[in-house]
Structure 1
Amino acid sequence: MAGEFGTVLRRLREKAGLTQDELERRSGVSVSTIRGLETGKRRNPRMTTVQQLADALALRSEDREELLGAAVPGRRGDGTGSEAEASAAEAGAPVGGAPGGGEARAGEPEAGDGSAAGAGVAPPAVPSSPPVSAAQTAPAEAAEQLAKAVAARWQREEEQRRIQDPYPLPVRWKAACETLTDHWANIRRLPPGAPGGPLDLSGRLEGIAETYRSIPSGRLVVLGRSGSGKTVLTLRFVLDHLRSRTPAEPVPVIFSIGAWDPTAVTLRDWLTERLTRDHPGTAAPGPGKVSLASALVDSGRVLPVLDGFDEMADGLRRPALEALNATTLPLVLTSRPAEYAAAVEETDVLTSAAPIELTDLTLDDLDHYLPRTTRKTDRSDPAAGAWQAVLKKLREPSPDGAPAPLVTVLTTPLMVALARTVYSDTPEHDPAELLDAERFPGVRELEEHLLDSFLPTVYRGARPGARGWDPERVQRWLGHLARHLTELRTPDLAWWRLGHGLRRSTRTLVTALVTALVIGFVDTVMSVGFSGSLANGLLDGAIVGLLAGFLFGLVHWFTYTVTGKDVRPSAVRLRIRGRPETTTWRAGPRLVIGTLGGTLFGCAYGFAVGLVRAFSWHAGLSSALSLGLIDAIVFGLIFGGAAGLTFCLLGLLETPLDIVSAVSPGSVLRTDRRTVLTQLCVWAPVFGSAVGLGAGVVVDLLQGRLGRLVADPMVSLMLGTISGLGGALGYTLTMTAWGQWCLLARVWLPLTGRLPWSVAAFLDDAYQRGVLRQAGAVYQFRHARLQSRLAQRRVRQARVGQGRSAQGRRRG
């Protein structure tokens, strides 16, 4: 018969919707141990085992306390117990029984079964239990490091957005309507039949963390219209929650849910991928042969703050809500009310979630805030400012009794922030013009004016120590970026995906063309250097360049178009000096991938070279095919072995990045560039030497089997040198994020006028001016309204340009 601990464990496992096998994968505790604990065959679990199970079940504090109380006999409901029990727990000894272990040894009585040992006779001294393994402590330590990194990141972002200057706008909320609210008994986690009414959810910005902690289910939905302050609220929630967080609580992490496709990837996998992107250190291996990011998500150590449910595509909101309801994860979700209500109408409310709705700013809020954002203009009345007369005019009753359009516009923090930027920060602009009813007859005209005036205002001059930008070109460049994000249906502006705005065929063609030119030039230089003949060098360079461009372009097309995979920045760095922290977790797979890829590439290259050589000798078709097949086998073995060795060595030298390292778009770009350049320094000599030496080895092995083969040392040296340099450059341009960035974002897009030549400096400058914001490794536009407005204007400009071109052609 199962004991109390087994009964509680089974109930909590079933409540989480997990099988024993799934709990084994998440916790690292064997399924036989879990089965034994639940049936009562195994008693006295170690405290480390209890903690692993609690983490894997993502238990809230009260459930965790219940499980711990069942494991420790005599533990009181307030979470306290005897000092001996606490000491045993800290030491990792089995709780509630004999100190020898969670299972009695064969032939030894278990404590508490009526034996002398169970009656209080002191047991023989046994060695202390072994310390907790690194695999067990890694997720806990990683969670603490993650908390520090998240807090530092969003503290910097809050300062950059000037939220505290002069003070945060008073964002307030009330409970949302009942049609968007689940049963209060579910929200309160009440047992069947227990009475329970609504929670008091009203509050202000500074109390968001307390409001969340008052919700037993740990699920909160924040609703608010566009620009009402949802993103600022999530930022404040993360910082306040982290300030008062205990080690047992999960780490709040903001995720832009608008980039999630629930029909293609599960929620947990998507959270893991985003966590790895924004915190590359979590890509390191964790317990159970999974990454630390996966371990953090699966063990409930991450509290997802899902910002921007309304930014998802229309057809994805319903499956997204259904996927969220299929989990028991505590979370925070933000959305505009209409989009959330439409998704609820199609499926159901977010299970066990308490929804709140942000309320409008008032004229009193504006009276207190706006005058403090501008410099004083009247020395006789220090309180007077540019906004005083405007605010006074807004309080005057209109002839028809309706509020002035400006009153409605300034009820959202977004529009207040834009008005502050356009008028408070620029003395030459007078906010009184906003009262002009002929120029701004309605709300839409006022909002469009503020949105359109934002960029000219923030780009009115060069920042200290930074270059200036032409405002008209800035409009075009930012419009291209906004349209690029709209077409990709994501708010995340990732530097490694800037080329994805191009058609796949264009991207592949540019990659193949540039790769052909680069490798052809290298081959020509090296061939001329070895042979001394310019004509032969040009001919050989043209052939090798075209073949390499075609093959590398084919590899690029297949990898990123056919398979649907995306080129991403490296989550590791190469350590040349000293022993890498992790030496085997990537080497094996890299050996296999490198060998297969090199063999296929070598076969294709050898077959093409054989055909070209045979036809240059005026050989017949049969002879040409035979020679092509022989060269395909030879080069396949040469390049397969060399690539496998090189990729394996790179895997041995890789070590994961530090979790607490500051991650920003610029730092990720610099880290990836440094990693790729280090890979080049390893790839070129290793791959070149392996090809040069491997040529002689392969020829000796196949001598006589494929006819008479010749391995000229000078030819092998030339082949190795060209292969090392050309292979390294081809790999960089086609298979790395930094290479694609250089090829498309630094060359092709500026060449076609879509972006400036100094792309990284331009993006950083836009961030410093408040046009963009940072969200981990990516940029985002300051607000979705700004992105939408810029994209619309860019589309109109493109249509006007096309119309003018068509008109010019007709005249011609």
Structure 2
Amino acid sequence: MTVQFTALLRRLRREAGLTQEHLAERTGLAVRTIGRLESGASANPQLDTVRLLADGLGLEPDVRATFLTVAGGQEPVEPEEPDGPAGPVEVVERRPESALERLLADAADDLAHAVHARLKKEEELRRIHDPFPLPVRWQPAPDGVMDQWANIRRVPHGEAAPLDLAGRLPEIVEIYRRIPSGRLVVLGRAGSGKSVLAARFVLDLLRTRGRCDAVPVALGIASWNPTTTTFRDWLVGQLLRDHPGLAARGPNRSNLATALVDADRILPVLDGFDELAVGQHRRALDALNTTDLPLLLTSRPGEYRDVASVDALTAAAAIRLTDLVVADLVDYLPRTTRRGAGGTVWDPVLAQLRDHPERPASTNLRTVLTTPLMVGLARAVYSDATGPDPAELLDTTRFGSQHEIEDHLLSRFIPTVYLDQRSRWDAGRARAWLGYLARHLDRLGTHDLAWWRLGVTMRRRTRMTVVGLVCGLAVGLSTGAMTWLVEALNGGSGLAALLTTGGYWLGFGLATGLAHGVGITLGSGAFEPSRVQLRASGGSRHLRARFGPRALIGLGGGVGLGLVLGLVGAAGIPPMGLPGAGFLGGLAAGTALGTLAGLGWGLLAGLETTVDLTSAVGPADTLRTNRLVVVVEFLGLGLVLGLAHLLMTTLTLGYLFPTGLVLDLVLGPVIGLAIGIGMTAWGQWLIFARIWLPLTGRLPWSVAAFLDDACRRGVLRQVGAVYQFRHARLQAHLANTA
């Protein structure tokens, strides 16, 4: 919490004529909480707490926006001083916010807070400011890749002069605001700093954002398929993936993500236009031209030029990033390593580049070190005082071309960052695992590494077999072990019971595998993680929306189960411990079990509530949330199944069988959890990422810890709810060489 916030809270409370006790009564907060906030003794307040304070203080919209901005650790926007003498002040009566405007403004503020927190963390992990950012500069792009200046400046034809768009990284927001259309294309070759510029643009724009302004959101556009999905639908889907809290109910029965997009409260910052699938660039540009949304788009020059030469992005100005020069390297690289008595390890190399630029070795290395990506790799490999000497990069016998130097830097990056002796990951094995992940993404045609999609590149039959085997073994062995224990305690043949019952329930694995195959077909290859969390209250809306559908699913599944049990009963085999059931008895038993399971699952929706938008949302957060939802809901579902089966056997036999009581209460939840594992995103992660892929050597046993560690080492980065490799060049290199 900033000192500015504590002082602002005290001042606003006193201006409102309120004591801490009166403000506590208005907000429902404790007096002690308000006192700690005003003294600075409390940690950063949650956004909900800040909003309650703003409501209790009765702040006007502009003051409220400043209050929320300062609470988020940002500097408030100071009003610009007018030029010349002040004229008469026009008093404008402010129209109060409507309920809809308030809802969207609050959602936009929450989203802005979450985006700002994520990008600041990502900058720290990528060491952008250590010791200072590499210079990123640009010049206006050629007119051949831009629309007419009249369209860009929104003026009549013939009255538009070109804008001065040259600048450097700290000026990106200032340059963008010179463009009346609000549309800017950033062109640069691989590794030139386009993603860094996009992130800095979002952070700087958020720092000066007003309450009614659109929220800039950085998104990787490579996952968009313009042939099958409209741009707005894709944009909504990306927002829901990275910020599940936007799935909350908005106006007109839509979700908040859709409402924000429809109200033009989102400013898309689209990174990686060049990474769209082959043949999709023209379609994507045509789709973007059907909208007038302000946006920022990054691309390599070639891919964009090929389509812009026919028809550029409507009303969009364009800039092109320029190369780093030797002076930039001289200013940067020596400051990334220790200085000894004779200077730094970089001094002799930089002296060669500066003093003998005509030599082939200098030409090759200077050409390589013109992009922030390659400079960052060179720093990682050579700036450690105990590492290799960067002078080897000038060895033309070893590196005869710039491409050989680039391949060397890419290949040395992973061994270097995993050189830490305290690391739990061996560099060679880490490279092999990262290579598998890179090939996995290549097969999917994406840069987004989603935890719920690990394993989806396996053949369908293999996936069904693995799911059926894992679930069947879990249920069969659990059932057999329990039956053996009960029979052994009663003096019966425990081994026979183990074999008979265990083998009988292994058929459950076949059913689960087939159901998983149906889910793959209907879900396009992967089960999506749920966007809810469990709470003791607040889930009434989810209960109303989901009780009916879940009950119908249970009824449908129960009828299918009843048909199977009916056929088994007609053959004279007691289905599920129901002697003499026959076809009708088995049908009734299965239908009843399914219906009760659906009712129980439907009632559990009362514990579901939308994920809090202000909480941190990353891969680990979504994984933990989905694990809790699956475990609690499907354990409860299994308990309902167990109790229903116990009731049916008791009615059939005419008495309560104690052994059946134990089996149903213990094994029912096991069966329910096995169903959840086979049919949910977390279950797919558990089976493939935590069991099968580590068992076959393609991933480590602690996958989540490995991915998180790779982020800290700068190999991966977090982008909302997914991971990405630090750069597409690194992903391609690992996919081809690991």
TM-score range, shorter chain: 0.7 to 0.9
Cα deviation, residue 568, structure 1: 2.4
Cα deviation, residue 716, structure 1: 7.7
Q: Aligned partners of 2:504, 2:434: CA distance in 1, in Å? A: 41
1:434-583 → structure 2 map (5 Å cutoff): 434-463=393-422, 467-528=423-484, 534=494, 535-536=496-497, 538-546=499-507, 548-564=508-524, 566-576=526-536, 579-580=537-538, 582-583=539-540
Cα deviation, residue 793, structure 1: 0.7
Q: Aligned partners of 1:557, 1:478: CA distance in 2, in Å? A: 28
Alignment check: 8 A CA contact 2:639 2:672 kept = no
Counterpart of 1:161 in structure 2 is 126
Any idea what the Cα deviations from partners look like across 1:574-612, whole Å, max 9, x if unmatched?
A: 113xx22x412x334533433333233333333334434
SS in 2 for 1:779: strand
Counterpart of 2:373 in structure 1 is 414
Q: Aligned partners of 1:517, 1:400: CA distance in 2, in Å? A: 67
Q: Aligned partners of 2:118, 2:732: CA distance in 1, in Å? A: 26
Counterpart of 1:120 in structure 2 is none
Cα deviation, residue 666, structure 1: 1.8
Match of 2:697 among 740, 749, 753: 753
Q: Aligned partners of 1:289, 1:724: CA distance in 2, in Å? A: 37
Counterpart of 1:224 in structure 2 is 188
SS in 2 for 1:303: strand
Match of 1:678 among 632, 642, 649: 632
Q: Aligned partners of 1:293, 1:632: CA distance in 2, in Å? A: 47
Alignment check: 8 A CA contact 1:606 1:633 kept = yes
Counterpart of 1:215 in structure 2 is 179
Deviates further, 517-526 or 203-212: 517-526
Q: Aligned partners of 2:443, 2:152: CA distance in 1, in Å? A: 38
Alignment check: 8 A CA contact 1:603 1:635 kept = no
Counterpart of 1:622 in structure 2 is none
Question: Do the aligned partners of residues 603 and 448 (structure 1) sit closer, same or farther apart at CA in structure 2, a change above 3 Å counting?
Answer: same
Question: Do the aligned partners of residues 462 and 323 (structure 1) sit closer, same or farther apart at CA in structure 2, a change above 3 Å counting?
Answer: farther
Q: Aligned partners of 1:497, 1:436: CA distance in 2, in Å? A: 44
Question: Do the aligned partners of residues 631 and 409 (structure 1) sit closer, same or farther apart at CA in structure 2, a change above 3 Å counting?
Answer: farther
Counterpart of 1:123 in structure 2 is none
Question: Do the aligned partners of residues 592 and 544 (structure 1) sit closer, same or farther apart at CA in structure 2, a change above 3 Å counting?
Answer: farther
1:311 aligns with 2:275: yes
Alignment check: 8 A CA contact 1:304 1:332 kept = yes
Counterpart of 1:779 in structure 2 is 723
Q: TM-score, normalised by structure 2?
A: 0.82
Q: Aligned partners of 1:530, 1:609: CA distance in 2, in Å? A: 25
Aligned residue identity for 2:282 = R
SS in 1 for 2:298: strand
Question: Do the aligned partners of residues 642 and 440 (structure 1) sit closer, same or farther apart at CA in structure 2, a change above 3 Å counting?
Answer: same
Alignment check: 8 A CA contact 1:599 1:637 kept = yes
1:26-41 → structure 2 map (5 Å cutoff): none
Aligned residue identity for 2:188 = G
Cα deviation, residue 667, structure 1: 2.1
1:729 aligns with 2:673: yes
Whose Rg is larger?
1
1:593 aligns with 2:549: yes
Aligned residue identity for 1:788 = A
Match of 1:181 among 146, 168, 176: 146
Q: Aligned partners of 1:247, 1:772: CA distance in 2, in Å? A: 33
Q: Aligned partners of 2:123, 2:291: CA distance in 1, in Å? A: 31
Question: Do the aligned partners of residues 179 and 775 (structure 1) sit closer, same or farther apart at CA in structure 2, a change above 3 Å counting?
Answer: same
SS in 2 for 1:559: helix
Cα deviation, residue 470, structure 1: 1.5
Aligned residue identity for 2:91 = S
Counterpart of 1:266 in structure 2 is 230
Cα deviation, residue 257, structure 1: 0.8
1:202 aligns with 2:166: yes
Alignment check: 8 A CA contact 2:512 2:678 kept = yes
Aligned residue identity for 1:230 = K
Any idea what the Cα deviations from partners look like across 1:89-144, whole Å, max 9, x if unmatched?
A: 13x6xxxxxxxxxxxxxxxxxxxxxxxxxxxxxxxxxxxxxxx43x5422210100
Question: Do the aligned partners of residues 692 and 565 (structure 1) sit closer, same or farther apart at CA in structure 2, a change above 3 Å counting?
Answer: farther
Aligned residue identity for 1:559 = G
1:661 aligns with 2:625: no
Counterpart of 1:82 in structure 2 is 91
1:290 aligns with 2:249: no
Alignment check: 8 A CA contact 1:598 1:636 kept = no
SS in 1 for 2:556: helix
Q: Aligned partners of 1:376, 1:530: CA distance in 2, in Å? A: 73
Aligned residue identity for 1:757 = W
Any idea what the Cα deviations from partners look like across 1:395-439, whole Å, max 9, x if unmatched?
A: 234667996100100000000000011111243311111000111
SS in 1 for 2:129: coil
Q: Aligned partners of 1:170, 1:543: CA distance in 2, in Å? A: 68
SS in 2 for 1:395: helix
Match of 2:314 among 328, 340, 351: 351
Any idea what the Cα deviations from partners look like across 1:316-356, whole Å, max 9, x if unmatched?
A: 222211211111111111111111122334x5211111111
Identity over the aligned pairs, expressed in percent?
50
Q: Aligned partners of 2:550, 2:513: CA distance in 1, in Å? A: 17
Q: Aligned partners of 1:248, 1:80: CA distance in 2, in Å? A: 23
Q: Aligned partners of 2:161, 2:572: CA distance in 1, in Å? A: 88
Alignment check: 8 A CA contact 2:154 2:180 kept = yes
Aligned residue identity for 2:610 = P
1:424 aligns with 2:378: no
SS in 1 for 2:267: strand
SS in 2 for 1:437: coil
Question: Do the aligned partners of residues 458 and 617 (structure 1) sit closer, same or farther apart at CA in structure 2, a change above 3 Å counting?
Answer: closer
Q: Aligned partners of 2:523, 2:649: CA distance in 1, in Å? A: 32
Cα deviation, residue 777, structure 1: 1.4
Pairs aligned (count): 643
1:773-812 → structure 2 map (5 Å cutoff): 773-794=717-738
**Aligned Cα RMSD in Å?**
2.7
1:234-273 → structure 2 map (5 Å cutoff): 234-273=198-237
Q: Aligned partners of 1:400, 1:369: CA distance in 2, in Å? A: 22
Alignment check: 8 A CA contact 1:508 1:556 kept = yes
SS in 2 for 1:315: coil
SS in 1 for 2:279: helix
Cα deviation, residue 676, structure 1: 2.5
Q: Aligned partners of 2:186, 2:453: CA distance in 1, in Å? A: 30
Residue ranges of structure 2 left out of the alignment (5+ in a row)? 1-60, 62-86, 575-579
Residue ranges of structure 1 left out of the alignment (5+ in a row)? 1-50, 52-77, 93-131, 619-625, 700-708, 795-812
1:373 aligns with 2:317: no
Question: Do the aligned partners of residues 615 and 536 (structure 1) sit closer, same or farther apart at CA in structure 2, a change above 3 Å counting?
Answer: farther
Question: Do the aligned partners of residues 193 and 409 (structure 1) sit closer, same or farther apart at CA in structure 2, a change above 3 Å counting?
Answer: closer
Alignment check: 8 A CA contact 1:590 1:647 kept = no
Deviates further, 525-534 or 771-780: 525-534
Aligned residue identity for 1:762 = F
Q: Aligned partners of 1:725, 1:219: CA distance in 2, in Å? A: 55
1:648 aligns with 2:617: no
Question: Do the aligned partners of residues 756 and 453 (structure 1) sit closer, same or farther apart at CA in structure 2, a change above 3 Å counting?
Answer: same
Q: Aligned partners of 1:402, 1:528: CA distance in 2, in Å? A: 75
Question: Do the aligned partners of residues 732 and 520 (structure 1) sit closer, same or farther apart at CA in structure 2, a change above 3 Å counting?
Answer: same
Q: Aligned partners of 2:566, 2:427: CA distance in 1, in Å? A: 56
Q: Aligned partners of 1:217, 1:473: CA distance in 2, in Å? A: 50
Question: Do the aligned partners of residues 242 and 203 (structure 1) sit closer, same or farther apart at CA in structure 2, a change above 3 Å counting?
Answer: same
Counterpart of 1:141 in structure 2 is 106
Counterpart of 2:14 in structure 1 is none
Cα deviation, residue 756, structure 1: 0.8
Q: Aligned partners of 2:676, 2:385: CA distance in 1, in Å? A: 46
Question: Do the aligned partners of residues 716 and 361 (structure 1) sit closer, same or farther apart at CA in structure 2, a change above 3 Å counting?
Answer: same
Cα deviation, residue 727, structure 1: 3.6
Counterpart of 2:41 in structure 1 is none
Cα deviation, residue 616, structure 1: 5.6
Counterpart of 1:324 in structure 2 is 288
Cα deviation, residue 541, structure 1: 3.2
